[in-house]
DNA sequence: CATATTAAGTAAGTGTCACTCACCCATTTC
DNA sequence: GAAATGGGTGAGTGACACTTACTTAATATG
């Protein structure tokens, strides 16, 4: 398993990653300079390019690391939950909670990486994003098999609706620095997605 | 009304905007240089800054122009449609169709502008994006009043689910250059959102 | 145990790019 | 006919992402 361990990595690398995370709490990625990252990390600019292909690659690696933590937490939350719909609710809640707590992670994922074509070749996308989607897909299939979820909608559409809704609820909160009302948002979303909007 | 008319604008300005649109068909915004834009437009680099505050502002103005066309088309499609749910279906279909046809527009809106904080101060956001949201909100309220749509879900959540779902369906198509199956996607989305996923 | 090898980290660049500034040249306006 | 206005130019500049050649420290090897 290609786990990104925190151990064994050189201190400079860790300091650089930590520096970017810190800076992303204050300003957007584009207006952060490599000089600034190096200074915050307490290393020289050149060292960044020892460990990362370029500035964006550093961003992807930071996202990867945070995403792995998120997936771990999500699967922990999922343990012991019975029923496909309950599992989907659990995922929605875990996601909203994590997005609210880990603002830097969410900002990277929802706004900073989308525009780099390279992102979709990165480990963060190829491993984590796809993993996340797959977990949801598996639950949907399970729900269909066990007659909890309608058979006449394409599972992929159900997944898109769930993921799209969650992201769209969080986006304004992330951009305008508002908090996410995790509990109520979870209920609102589940209520809407599970039962539909028609009277 | 602060309409962005195509008339009366100096030819250089039009050529610059057209050049960016052309280039965005081939590569992402970040890897397009101002020199390239100027060359494609057949003007000098300096002229860009006569008409636009900076490179990103040019992007926002191009988006504004395309968005206004989209809103016009959408409202035309909406004419004569009766019933809130039918109106929502019409909007979803118009959006999917436009997103599929106007790839450059969609790429700008869904992937290129999100990461600039300035975008949310731009006319494209303040006028068009909010206008689009408002049109949907009004229909939802109408649907609730006329007992077509459930009263027990917050209208804003319904809007988020609709917009989020549509965008999430289109995003992979835009990024990986796949076509959008407008008709089937419309039905799939409406079916899911109107009636829910629960058996 | 000396030496070769690799890895961590540095320091001084360099080319490119977004953006600026001073300046034309043609109309229009008074 | 001078002044003002608006479209357009082209040379320049600072900042920034990234490179390259080098130093030092740790590790492995004959």
Q: How far is A176 from chain B (nearest CA, A)?
A: 9
DSSP chain A: -----STTS-HHHHHHHHHHHHHHTTS-GGG--HHHHHHHHTS-HHHHHHH-SSHHHHHHHHHHHHHHHHHHHHHHHHTT--SHHHHHHHHHHHHHHHHHH-HHHHHIIIIISTT-GGGGGSHIIIIIIHHHHHHHHHHHHHHHHTTSB-SSS-HHHHHHHHHHHHHHHHHHHHHTTPPP-HHHHHHHHHHHHHH-SB-
Domain boundary among B19, B34, B51: B51
Strand D nucleotides where any atom sits below 7 Å of a protein CB? 6-12, 15-21
Residues B92, B36 share a domain: no
Domains in chain B: how many in total?
Answer: 2
Residue A24 C-alpha from the chain's centroid: 15
C-alpha–C-alpha distance, residues B125 and B21, integer Å? 18
Task: Measure, in angstroms, how far nucleotide C12 C1' is from residue A15 CA.
Answer: 23
Q: What is the pLDDT of residue A7?
A: 54
List the single residue in B157, B191, B198 with the smallest CB-CB distance to A188. Answer: B157
List the single residue in A161, A163, A197 with the smallest CB-CB distance to B149. Answer: A197
Residues A81, A171 share a domain: yes
Give yes or no for residue A1 having a pLDDT over 90. Answer: no
Residues B91, B189 share a domain: yes
The HSE-up count of residue B33 (CA atoms within 13 Å, CB side) is 5
Taking only the tens place, the pLDDT of each residue in A16-32 is 999 999 999 999 999 99
- For residue B60, give its domain range: 54-195
A27 touches strand C (CB under 7 A): no
Whether the Cβ atoms of residue B141 and residue B150 lie closer than 8 Å to each other:
no
A59 contacts on B by Cβ (under 8 Å): none
Taking only the tens place, the pLDDT of each residue in B99-125 is 999 999 999 999 999 999 999 999 999
Whether residue A1 is contained in a domain is answered as no
A13 touches strand C (CB under 7 A): yes
Residue A139 in tokens: 């639950």
Whether residue A29 is contained in a domain is answered as yes
Residues B31, B67 share a domain: no
- Give CA angle at A122 (A116, A127), nearest 5°: 130
Residue B188 in tokens: 């799939």
Whether residue B2 is contained in a domain is answered as no
User: Whose CA is nearest the C1' atom of nucleotide D7?
Assistant: B10
Whether the Cβ atoms of residue B118 and residue B58 lie closer than 8 Å to each other:
no
Q: What residues contact residue A117 under an 8 Å CB cut-off, 6+ apart? A: B28, B175
Inter-CA distances, B95 with A64, A126, B113, B163, Å: 33, 29, 18, 10
Give yes or no for residue A5 having a pLDDT over 60. Answer: no
Give yes or no for residue A3 having a pLDDT over 90. Answer: no
pTM above 0.85, yes or no: yes
Q: Which of A58, A73, A46, A57 is nearest to A21 (CA)?
A: A58
A198 contacts on B by Cβ (under 8 Å): 85, 148-150, 194-195
Q: Residue-wise pLDDT tens for chain B (199 aa)?
A: 344 555 578 999 999 999 999 999 999 999 999 999 999 999 999 999 999 999 999 999 999 999 999 999 999 999 999 999 999 999 999 999 999 999 999 999 999 999 999 999 999 999 999 999 999 999 999 999 999 999 999 999 999 999 999 999 999 999 999 999 999 999 999 999 999 999 9
Average the pLDDT over A136-158 and give the result. Answer: 97
């Amino acid at each position: 398993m290609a786990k990104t361990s925190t151990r064994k990595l050189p201190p400079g690398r860790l300091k650089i990653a930590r520096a970017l995370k810190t800076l992303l709490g204050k300003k957007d990625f584009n207006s952060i300079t490599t000089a600034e990252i190096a200074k915050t990390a307490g290393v020289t600019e050149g060292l960044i390019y020892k460990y990362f292909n370029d500035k964006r690659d550093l961003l992807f690696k930071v996202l990867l690391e945070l995403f792995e933590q998120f997936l771990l937490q999500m699967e922990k939350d999922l343990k012991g939950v019975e029923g496909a719909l309950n599992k989907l609710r659990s995922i929605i809640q875990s996601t909203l909670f994590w997005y609210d707590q880990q603002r830097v992670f969410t900002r990277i994922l929802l706004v900073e990486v989308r525009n780099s074509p390279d992102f979709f070749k990165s480990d963060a996308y190829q491993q984590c994003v796809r993993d996340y989607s797959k977990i949801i897909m598996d639950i949907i299939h399970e729900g269909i098999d066990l007659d909890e979820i309608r058979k006449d909608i394409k599972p992929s559409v159900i997944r898109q609706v769930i993921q799209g809704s969650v992201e769209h609820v969080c986006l304004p909160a992330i951009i305008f620095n508002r908090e996410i009302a995790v509990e109520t948002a979870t209920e609102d979303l589940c209520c809407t997605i599970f039962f539909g909007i028609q009277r």
